[in-house]
DNA sequence: CGGGATCCAAAACGATACTG
DNA sequence: CAGTATCGTTTTGGATCCCG
């Protein structure tokens, strides 16, 4: 009665929504990647590495691939030597920014 | 320049906020537990189990403990036989509901 | 009824080396 | 420069049994 706009009791619909969301932006690094691309714009691969000291090579490329597969980021490759690749948010990627803002705000206010 | 109210470039402050938040509400079950308690109110231990078919004994008690340790839920024990324990959200617990709403909304709108 | 303890499987994460 | 491949570690989740 308190949340008329959200119907969730139809067998697991709630869990699916929340878990789907977590599967897309959960984990240790995805939110940080999305944040940098969302707030600062386009970044190259090694720029992202520098912005996230602590992330490993493997994690960065893996998470970038997953985010691209989920349609949250664009990967633009220039066929030059040396290689050059630019990452940016898609429209869908920008749609998660409200979640980021809400979480970031909560994190600041609660220790 | 686009987000004057949020300063994050002071070495890892951003990551900390987001990661702290994820450490508190991340994982497979915490959000669902918080949702039930937030939207439906007080629940007993076995009520929560029935509301979350699929969760194991261990996970439920473990996550309830973590949520309690983080100050998001209250645990009220009645010294009766048989035992009776009620869980509910704290004020801090309710403060995460905006995150849940935002994520749930996103999950519904994006497949 | 509401857990705790133990053991095990699976997934996430990390270090390092190699490549076009 | 921008990755991939392999291996090992750490974290997370699950099955089962026990307890007051």
Span B30-50, pLDDT tens digits: 999 999 999 999 999 999 999
Alpha carbon of residue B25 to chain centroid: 5
Instruction: Render pLDDT for A35-65 as a digit per residue (tens, 0 to 9).
Output: 999 999 999 999 999 999 999 999 999 999 9
Distance B59 CA to C5 C1' (A): 14
Q: Distance between CA atoms of A85 and B86, rounded to whole angstroms?
A: 53
Asked if the C-beta of A4 comes within 8 angstroms of chain B's C-beta atoms, the answer is no
What percentage of residues in chain A have a pLDDT greater than 90?
76
- Inform me whether the pLDDT recorded for A2 exceeds 70: no
Q: CA-to-CA distance for B65 and B58, rounded, in angstroms? A: 11
Q: Dump pLDDT digits (tens) for A19-35.
A: 889 999 999 999 999 99
Identify the sign of the CA torsion A67, A70, A76, A77: positive
Residue B11 near chain A (CB below 8 Å): no
pTM value is: 0.89
């Amino acid at each position: 009665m308190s949340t008329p706009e959200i119907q969730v009791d139809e067998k697991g619909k709630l869990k699916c929504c929340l878990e789907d969301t977590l599967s897309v932006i959960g984990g240790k690094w995805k939110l940080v990647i999305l944040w940098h691309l969302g707030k600062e714009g386009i970044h190259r691969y090694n720029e992202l590495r520098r912005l996230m000291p602590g992330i490993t090579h493997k994690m960065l490329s893996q998470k970038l691939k997953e985010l691209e597969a989920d349609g949250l980021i664009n990967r633009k490759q220039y066929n030059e030597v040396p290689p050059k690749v630019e990452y940016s948010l898609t429209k869908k990627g920008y749609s998660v920014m409200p979640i980021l803002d809400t979480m970031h705000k909560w994190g600041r206010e609660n220790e």
